[in-house]
Amino acid sequence: MKQTIYLATEYMTLGQLLKEINLISSGGQAKWFLAEQTVFVDGELENRRGRKLYPGMMIEIPEVGTFFMAKNKENSDAAE
């Protein structure tokens, strides 16, 4: 499954993304999840819950899906 995640702020952490897509229910579970599951950020293995995700980055979680980070349309319109 491919999904676009729209950022309401400049960036989102990997832990926040995991919570946003309902893989974990609290931020404290992110460390455990990343220790047990394989997560790729732009094709590289990642295990830091604080990894900052910016527009244009792609996150792949095998057997879950691929997530593309994008600017929130409302925020990008206001900046122009």
17-73 residue pLDDT tens: 999 999 999 888 999 999 999 999 999 999 999 999 999 999 999 999 999 999 987
What are the angstrom distances between the C-alpha of 61 and each of 19, 35, 47, 68, 77?
13, 13, 12, 12, 30
Indicate the pLDDT class of residue 78, thresholds 50, 70 and 90.
very low
What sign has the CA pseudo-torsion 29, 34, 38, 42? positive
For the chain, the domains span 2-79
Q: Report pLDDT digits (tens) over 25-40.
A: 988 899 999 999 999 9
- Let me know: does 73 contact 50? Beta carbons within 8 Å: no
From the options 3.10.290.10, 3.40.50.970, 1.10.1060.10, 3.40.1790.10, give the CATH code of 2-79. Answer: 3.10.290.10
